[in-house]
Amino acid sequence: MKRQIILLLIVFSVAAQAQTPLSLADAVTIALENNYGIIVAKGNQQVAEIQNNWGTAGRYPYINLSLGDDNSMNLNEQENYNSNRFSGNANVSWTLFDGFSVRINKTRLEELENLSKNNTAIMVESTIQSVILAYYDVLLQKEKMATFQEVLTLSDDRYKQMEDRKSYGAAVTYDVLQAQTAYLSDKAGYLLQEVSYKNSMRNLTYLMAVKNKTDYELTGTFEALPKEYSFADLEAQMLQNNKSLQNQFVNQRLLENAIAAAKSNYSPALDFRGGVTGTTARRKTANNGANWSNSASLYGNLTLSWNLYSGGNRKRAVQIAEIDQDMGLVKIEDMKHSLTNSLAKLYEFYLVRKELLEIARENVKAAKLNLQISQEKFDSGAINSFNFRDVQTFYLRASQAELEAIYYFIDAHTSMLRMTGVIIQEYE
């Protein structure tokens, strides 16, 4: 009775804590809202959006305003006086033309914003993949715990059976000790698996950035749903949607922008400077009282500047920018080739994982049937405790292997979805 109570406490120790239902979609949604990395990436994206402005690019003029008040007092033998001088100045500076650099700068800011958006998307993809794998890892550990519980129940029944046989004189102490050792070993395995389950749950809640101690009950089903894919279709999706490759295209456009910026240095620049200055002065003496004087001046100037020669620096800058552009094209081809190779490996791995999953399922069916037959033989005395323990251990390993095959298949499938750039559409 004592062992039965312990078993019941073990079985319901985790179940009693699970209160808040959590689906995979809910876990992804919470993570996208709270994940620390995504918050930082979105902040950087907002900065890039703010900087993408015509004012930052240099289209608009700069207006400055200044006010001053100068006071002085003069003491001498002839006459003492004090004076005040109030001044105000407003000026405008505006680059009217600078070799289309304003338009070039605005284009660069737009590409930097696109780059920031892609970086956010990459972080979102990474978070979604991590949450999916963490979610299914919790289900994996839970299923493993159920398998350990099943074997533990069998070990407990065998242990009680040996004790009953010993009381009737049909078994000796050695048989009881063997059954007890198996029971304690399975109990230790279950307790360790329970720790793995709790740690896996902690990892999931960290990815979701949940700080309060919420006990979740995962409502998802731990199963693998193989799908048929064409490598040509996957490759086309990857070349179109992969965010890292899209970032490389943005970088290439930035290199083209750098060439335009270098060439704009050959153009003249036309600047406007204008403003108004006003001054009010007061001089006060003991004999003559206060005297006031006012003055104002306006000015507006245009300056045309053209750097005709700078020691070949502009030419070299254009040459370097063009070389960088050529190297960027090589990097794009390199990335395409690398991604295609990685996708091919991942696709083959996906197919192998699908086959291994079928093998694991067949293996666990055979192991379970063998366990049932062996249980009957053991109860009837046709096999000894050692043979039954071997069958029991084989079933445990086969069950664990099937669960791991399911998880590894989900891992391969999720990685393939991320590489092709469609994981956001699948899970966001």
**How many structural domains does the chain have?**
1
Return the CATH number at 335: 1.20.1600.10
Range of the domain at 51: 2-61+99-266+311-427
How big is the CA angle at 375 (ends 369 and 379), to the nearest 5 degrees? 155
* End-to-end C-alpha distance for the chain, whole angstroms: 50
Under DSSP, is residue 237 helix (H, G, I), strand (E, B) or coil?
Answer: helix
Please report, for residues 129, 157, 243, 366, the alpha-carbon distance to residue 125 in angstroms, rounded to integers and kept in the order given. 6, 48, 9, 39
The dihedral formed by the CA atoms of 125, 425, 240 and 230, expressed in degrees to the nearest 10? 110
Ramachandran area for residue 209 (φ above 0: left; ψ -120 to 50: alpha; else beta): left
For the residues 131-149, what does the mean pLDDT come to? 92
Alpha-carbon 106 to chain mean position: 28
Cα separation, 146 vs 249, whole angstroms: 49
Q: Is residue 275 part of a domain?
A: no
Query: What was the pLDDT predicted at 52?
Result: 94
Closest to 58 measured CA to CA, from 24, 109, 8, 22? 109
| 65-69, 89-93, 153-157 — most confident range | 89-93
Contact 396, 151 (CB under 8 A): yes
Q: What is the pLDDT of residues 179-220, one digit of tens each?
A: 888 888 889 989 999 999 999 999 999 999 888 777 889 999
Q: Is residue 280 part of a domain?
A: no
Q: Which residues pair with 327 in a beta bridge?
A: none
Residues 9, 14, 20, 25, CA torsion sign: negative
Q: What is the largest CA-CA distance in the chain?
A: 137
Query: What was the pLDDT predicted at 8?
Result: 47
For the residues 241-266, what does the mean pLDDT come to? 93
pTM of the model: 0.79
Closest to 166 measured CA to CA, from 177, 156, 151? 177
Banded pLDDT at 415 (limits 50, 70, 90): very high
Banded pLDDT at 240 (limits 50, 70, 90): very high
Helix and strand totals (H; E) in the chain: 11, 6
Banded pLDDT at 282 (limits 50, 70, 90): confident
Strands (E), 113-201: none
Q: Is residue 81 part of a domain?
A: no
Q: Is residue 344 part of a domain?
A: yes
Contact 109, 41 (CB under 8 A): no
Banded pLDDT at 414 (limits 50, 70, 90): very high
Please report, for residues 24, 58, 194, the alpha-carbon distance to residue 109 in angstroms, rounded to integers and kept in the order given. 37, 12, 52
Q: Is residue 291 part of a domain?
A: no
Please, what is the average pLDDT of the chain? 87
Q: What is the DSSP string of 111-171?
A: HHHHHHHHHHHHHHHHHHHHHHHHHHHHHHHHHHHHHHHHHHHHHHHHHHHHHHHHHHTSS
